[in-house]
Structure 1
Amino acid sequence: MKRQLPFKLLAAIGATCGIALINAPLVGHAGDAPASFHASPDVYKVLAENDDMRVVLATWAPGKKDVSHSHPTAAVYTIKDCHARITTADGKVREVNNKAGAARINPPVASHTFENIGLNECQQVLVEKRR
């Protein structure tokens, strides 16, 4: 049986994609580490892609830390609250609290890890520009 996403989620993802296309016309990629879905295929699942865009579902169980990776310019929509620790290649650490329903556009992100330090599953959709 094919899994259906709720209409509100699809609308939010669509709006986020539109914002990404309007506000990020130039693509950059922080290619100093593998793409997320190559580095941690257990966390990052490619849902759809074409020559221009890639849609990735990221799911971290409590305590899960992914492998060091990078991202191109991307719109990010948080499906389930994410309390996480991000560690960059130079050892800098920061905590983030991304709330469900929040959307943002990220520039290219260099090598980093993302660790779910919350008590619940964390989930986000990334809409990445490919070129």
Structure 2
Amino acid sequence: MAKDPVETNPENYRVVFENDRVRVLEYTDSPGHTTTEHHHPDSVMITASSFRRRLSSNGKNIDVDLPAGVARWMPDQDHSGENIGDTDTHTFFVELKEAAPDSSRERIDHLGPTES
């Protein structure tokens, strides 16, 4: 499993809130920046700016183009990312600390955020 993004990419991720149920991370970067592989548990991602990114994991790539002011579900995943746009990225992740209600389910094989 990849490491905590605050440890792998401390210049980009910072903890802005944490309690026993959630951890909220703020993420910022500039065009052309890449991150090392890291792990996100089930999370809600809230975009503070519009951005274009390429997410990569296990030989898969997906390009994500999101406007400012949207919230997206992001299932548990490991990935690295690259800002492929021409704007800075600014987003927040609300990471869930509790296991999914059906903890026997297999890990979702999805890369990037989803609308549901």
What TM-score do you get using the length of structure 1 for normalisation?
0.72
Q: Which residue is 2:9 aligned to? A: 40
1:116 corresponds, among 79, 83, 96, to: 83
Give 1 or 2: higher helix fraction.
1
**Percentage identity across aligned positions?**
33
Q: Which amino acid aligns with 2:76?
A: P
| Structure 2 Cα separation of the partners of residues 66 and 102 of structure 1 | 22
Q: Which residue is 1:103 aligned to? A: 71
Deviation at 1:118, TM superposition (A): 0.8
| Structure 1 Cα separation of the partners of residues 70 and 82 of structure 2 | 19
List, as ranges, runs of 4+ consecutive aligned residues in structure 1 with deviation greater than 2 Å. Answer: none
Deviation at 1:102, TM superposition (A): 1.2
Query: Which digits, 9 at most, give the CA deviation of each residue in 1:67-86, with x for residues without a partner?
Result: 10010111110111110111
Report the count of equivalent residues. 98
Rg larger in structure: 1
| Structure 2 Cα separation of the partners of residues 86 and 107 of structure 1 | 14
What TM-score do you get using the length of structure 2 for normalisation?
0.80
Report matched runs for 1:25-36 at 5 Å. Answer: 32-36=1-5
Q: Kindly report the root-mean-square deviation, in angstroms, between the aligned alpha carbons of the 2 structures.
A: 0.9
Q: Which residue is 2:62 aligned to? A: 94
| Structure 2 Cα separation of the partners of residues 75 and 92 of structure 1 | 22
